[in-house]
Chains A and B, each alone.
Chain A
Amino acid sequence: MHAYLKLDHIDKTFTRGNATTEVLKEINLTIEKGEYVSIIGHSGCGKSTLLNIVAGLTGATTGGVLLENREVNSPGPDRAVVFQNHSLLPWLTVYENVKLGVDKVFASTKTRAERDAWVMHNLNLVQMAHAREKRPSEISGGMKQRVGIARALAMEPKVLLLDEPFGALDALTRAHLQDSVMALHQKLGNTILMITHDVDEAVLLSDRIVMMTNGPSARIGEVLEVPLTRPRKRLELATNPAYLKCRQRVLEFLYERHRFVEAA
């Protein structure tokens, strides 16, 4: 089988003193090139841990991640992450934040001028070229996240990992950014793995939605194909039966079969 990205029998346990918590159990998932896959689940189900494992920031206890049939277990620019809280370095300008990755990834393959042009190209993609000399503290939350996306895209990742990228934004900004990400995906054909807890966001953006059961020992409960053609239009989808059906399926999964148990 020729999977582009393969999560192979991933288990993850955290050990703290004598207590061992099993967070993830038997996660198997294959993602094709160019596919947009969302992982949805209640908070605390380990979906962020799963993304960190794919990113290489956390090690899996057993099992592993294969990218183009090669095991990846340390972080690298081929799996660039857009972090939930943008994680821009506050002492660098917008331009420098993007350049940090570009300079490392293309150190030997691009000249200085080419790297500069590449940074600007990516800032243009997310419509942030105008703020190139601004510092993160001087731009809005949505703009910061745009820069975060540009930074990740500029590394030309094989897989783009989005960790609840719109979670900290207000509804209007979120919708705007979702449209931007859809347009970028359409234009560049990236393979994207996104963590989310927003049902509408998952259905709108994804080709497939991976629904996770509640932790501890979270598993993949169900995988839903979203049979909607691209490009998708937010307004038209609101009344689209296929869209509503998908939405219904995810809601049923999350709120009937795997209702969030308040563990406290």
Chain B
Amino acid sequence: MTMPAIKAEATAVAIPSTSPATAAPVVTMTPKQAPRAEKYVKMAKEAAVRVVPPLIVLALLMLFWELVCRRTGSTLPPPSKVFKDTKELILDPFFDNGGIDKGLFWHLSASLQRVAYGYSIAAIVGIALGTLVGQSVWAMRGLDPLFQVLRTIPPLAWLPLSLAAFRDGQPSAIFVIFITSVWPIIINTAVGIRNIPQDYRNVAAVVQLNPLEFFSKIMIPAAAPYIFTGLRIGIGLSWLAIVAAEMLIGGVGIGFFIWDAWNSSHISEIILALFYVGIIGFVLDRLIAGLAKIVTRGTALN
């Protein structure tokens, strides 16, 4: 909003100061460069406004943590000790000594892989079931009560059952991810489909779109904002569930890494792992939000 004003100001100031003394080329150069420099300064300012406050808060928290945990007999390590203890893990995330003795990169990528499988299946099944429930009154009457009950079951409660069914850790973990993240996707998709304005349905009817075209050209784009809300909640939940599930199933994965560190009393490693889990959860959420922004361009407006 303020950009044009700044530009105008810059030109207004630049021309009178240069034109009397110097030749034409200089006059045209100055106003061109001035706004650009201003732009960078402005961008830097905006970035600083966003980055500086959280950094200050973080530094204060670290200081507080350091002061509290520095005393002898403290049960948790202070940040300085965490860094010292985990320096090798931080600097070399790619080592692989076989078994579960691997760098953090491998643990995280194993967890992410499980999430990717489980969440992809949940997205496909969730959108399909959500469409069915949103579109058909009978499907809603039949399935909705069931969904409302099933979605309240905590993710880990499914784990023993899926272990019994699959008899293997990997598919069980993927199933837990799936069953955790599928409900918000189903419910939000159904709401989105139900909320498609009658006008769009009328347009489709007049144009005589067939059901498949109606699905791809009207339903999905019209419900996209809702679907992405579901997908975003889903990715958060699946990242919550995977850490817990991996603690129980063992093997390579950030969840088991944390559990293993606890068993070996490597508290600093736990703290480092939690830091990574948090960052990755945040990045996953941002990814889906960014995707939503691209895909629903124009839909959310209006």
Spell out A's residues near B (CB within 8 Å). 55-57, 74-77, 79-81, 83, 85, 87, 89-92, 100-101, 104-105, 135-137, 155
Contacts and interface: CB of A to CB of B under 8 A. Distances in A.
Given A91-B299, A137-B302, A83 B207 contact: no
B200 A100 contact: no
**Residue in A83, A89, A104 whose Cβ sees the most chain B Cβ within 10 Å:** A89
A227 B284 CA distance: 69
Contacts of B297: 91
Nearest to A96: B217
Interface of B: 197, 199-200, 202-203, 205-209, 213, 217-218, 221-222, 224, 296-299, 301-302
B214 to A, nearest CB: 11
A80 B206 contact: yes
Contact of B301 (A55, A77, A137): A137
Contacts, number: 65
Nearest to B213: A104
A65 to B, nearest CB: 14
A90 B298 CA distance: 6
A101 B207 contact: yes
Given A81-B202, A83-B199, A100-B217, A90 B301 contact: yes
A75 B208 contact: yes
A133 B222 CA distance: 19
Given A75-B205, A83-B199, A87-B197, 8 more contacts: A57-B205, A75-B202, A83-B203, A87-B203, A91-B222, A91-B224, A101-B207, A104-B208
24 contacts: A75-B202, A75-B205, A76-B206, A83-B202, A87-B202, A87-B203, A89-B203, A89-B218, A89-B221, A89-B222, A90-B298, A91-B222, A91-B224, A91-B296, A91-B297, A91-B298, A91-B299, A100-B207, A101-B207, A104-B208, A135-B298, A135-B301, A136-B302, A155-B206
A77 B202 CA distance: 11
